[in-house]
Amino acid sequence: MLIIPAIDLKDGRCVRLKQGDMASATVFSDDPVAMARHWLAQGAKRLHIVDLNGAVAGKPKNEKVIRDIIRAVGEQMPIQLGGGIRDLDTIESYIDAGVTWVVIGTAAVKNPGFLSDAAYAFPGHIIAGLDAKDGKVAVEGWSKLTGHDVVDLAKKFEEYGIEALIYTDIGRDGMMNGVNIEATL
């Protein structure tokens, strides 16, 4: 089992949200670079970073701190990054900076052709992110629920040549009450 620590960024700080509610942010650190170094020192084999502001805005918003994290630990620990990544230029920029995997969520749901193009253009570097509540996929920083069934979309995305798929159960996220095994299997 690979346990991947996550750094969720809001306004340049490490936070935890409750069920994706941006107003419910609990700040864990004002120094995301120090937090990344902490996870590296603890033996983490990979780091997951989410630009929460970017996910809502539809474009990167915490790019400076993300690049600082990459410079600090990117050579020692692979990084996967999501949040507001909606075009090939942004993917290329982050991969060129040292990100190993780019997570595409909203753009994959709204424009599956984009996910396919990204997987083709950057083989081995694209992860699809599916975030769902009660089995329905959410987009735009979880602010909008779609009618898409998460399992059906996951099966469709498998065909695109993505490196992996990340699933988040929004109802459990940030609630500190464990994994929803039934929904995940």
* Annotated catalytic residue within 51, 131, 169, 173: 131
* Annotated catalytic residue within 8, 51, 169, 173: 8
Question: Collapsing DSSP states into helix, strand and coil, what is residue 121?
Answer: helix
Q: Report which residue type is found at 135.
A: G
- State the pairing for strand pair 136-139/47-51: unpaired
| Cα–Cα distance measured from residue 162 to residue 39, given in angstroms and rounded to the nearest whole number | 26
Question: Collapsing DSSP states into helix, strand and coil, what is residue 93?
Answer: helix
Q: Report which residue type is found at 138.
A: A
Q: Give the distance, in angstroms, between the CA of residue 110 and the centroid of all CA atoms in the same chain.
A: 16
| Cα–Cα distance measured from residue 152 to residue 62, given in angstroms and rounded to the nearest whole number | 32
**Residue 8: active-site member:** yes
Give catalytic residue positions: 8, 131
